[in-house]
């Protein structure tokens, strides 16, 4: 019963889990009892997963290069003073992905990228230092030495953590986050008409083809700008300059590698958001982190390993 209860609870609310247990198995439990059973079960699952050789073997046998992706999303919790507040839940994942066919910058949005062959995700509301340790622990758990690529958005804590955990590695700024900044600059320059669309299309190709060098050339060529427009251009240049070594999109496309952190964006939405951001939800911190563990196990398809000795 604990197995079914926890799984249903990881896929939906306590109340929905109660309805499904009653409908499928004729088991009558209150949402409160279901929550208590799930929390207890997740504690057991965490112990079982600490050093699971089958998970490590499955990750090692999977084909492809090792990617590390990382992001964060805010969760509504009650703090120690019983006051509601929003806290960032950090989300990370190791995955393996085979390289796709080589692509030109103009093909970035239409090429077929290979799906990951294995994923191991994890999440928690905790400090950057605590999450760094979690990344190290997860790295050892799946048997990862180094990573081929690290992908994320522009948050400073992400790249600081990546360097702390892996040292110097191939980093890539998520293309969609980069283009959001380019678009914001374009709107300041041209508004939202055809001139903006044409400029954005051109800048997108420049960024994908030439990285920072091309963007610096194009933005520096803009003349006779008023103060607000010059501020927007300077802001974009400063942002891109901080990430200049993470803008090698043409090289990654030619090598058949990903240039977007869609996997971790999906994890934030489906691993965390779908379960933990339901209307009216407000979590106690320990419960939030245990639910995140449960959701990560289901998202990573590691559920079967949690119960292999109990079937």
pTM of the model: 0.90
Residues ≥6 apart with Cβ < 8 Å to 140: none
Domain ranges of the chain: 2-49, 54-167+263-302, 176-246
Q: For the chain, what is the mean pLDDT?
A: 93
98 and 63 Cβ atoms separated by less than 8 Å = yes
Q: Which of 9-18, 237-246, 250-259 has the lowest mean pLDDT?
A: 9-18
Q: Which two tokens stand for residue 126?
A: 């905790």
36 and 292 Cβ atoms separated by less than 8 Å = no
Q: What is the DSSP letter of 290?
A: H
pLDDT category at 273 given cuts 50, 70, 90 is: confident
Q: Report the pLDDT value the prediction gives residue 310, as an integer from 0 to 100.
A: 64
Residues ≥6 apart with Cβ < 8 Å to 277: 73, 75, 76
Q: Report the pLDDT value the prediction gives residue 49, as an integer from 0 to 100.
A: 86
pLDDT tens-digit profile of 7-51? 999 999 999 999 999 999 999 999 999 999 999 999 999 988 887
Q: 172-188 in b/e burial notation, b at 16+ Cβ within 10 A?
A: bbbbebbbebbbebbeb
Residue with tokens 């799946």: 142
pLDDT tens-digit profile of 100-111? 999 999 999 999
93 and 267 Cβ atoms separated by less than 8 Å = yes
Nearest to 2 by CA among 32, 35, 24: 35
Q: Tell me how far apart the alpha carbons of residues 199 and 184 are, in angstroms, rounded to a whole number.
A: 12
**Collapsing DSSP states into helix, strand and coil, what is residue 51?**
coil
Nearest to 183 by CA among 170, 171, 193, 197: 197
Q: Tell me how far apart the alpha carbons of residues 192 and 55 are, in angstroms, rounded to a whole number.
A: 50
């Amino acid at each position: 019963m604990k197995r079914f209860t926890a799984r249903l609870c990881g896929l939906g609310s306590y109340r929905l889990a109660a309805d499904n247990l009653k409908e499928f198995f004729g088991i009558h439990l209150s949402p409160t009892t279901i929550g208590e059973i799930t929390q207890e079960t997740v504690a057991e699952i965490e112990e079982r997963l600490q050093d699971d050789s089958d998970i490590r073997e499955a990750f090692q046998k999977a084909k492809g290069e090792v990617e590390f992706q990382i992001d964060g999303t805010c969760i509504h919790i009650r703090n120690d003073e019983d006051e509601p507040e929003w806290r960032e839940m950090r989300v990370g994942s190791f995955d393996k992905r085979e390289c796709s066919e080589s692509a030109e910058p103009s093909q970035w949005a239409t090429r077929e990228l290979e799906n990951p062959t294995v994923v191991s995700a994890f999440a928690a509301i905790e400090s950057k230092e605590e999450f760094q340790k979690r990344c190290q622990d997860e790295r050892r758990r799946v048997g990862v030495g180094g990573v081929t690529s690290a992908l994320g958005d522009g948050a400073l804590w992400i790249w600081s953590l990546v360097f702390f955990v892996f040292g110097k590695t191939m980093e890539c700024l998520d293309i969609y986050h980069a283009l959001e900044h380019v678009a914001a600059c374009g709107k300041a320059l041209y508004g939202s008409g055809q001139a903006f669309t044409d400029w954005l299309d051109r800048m997108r190709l420049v960024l994908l083809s030439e990285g920072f060098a091309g963007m610096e050339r194009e933005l520096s060529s803009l003349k006779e700008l008023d103060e607000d427009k010059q501020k927007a251009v300077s802001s974009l240049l400063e942002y891109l300059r901080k990430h200049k070594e993470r803008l090698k999109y043409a090289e990654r496309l030619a090598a058949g590698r990903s240039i977007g952190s869609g996997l971790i964006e999906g994890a934030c939405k489906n691993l965390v958001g779908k379960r933990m951001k339901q209307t009216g939800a407000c979590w106690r911190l320990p419960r939030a982190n245990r639910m995140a563990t449960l959701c990560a196990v289901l998202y990573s398809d590691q559920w079967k390993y949690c119960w292999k000795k109990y079937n």
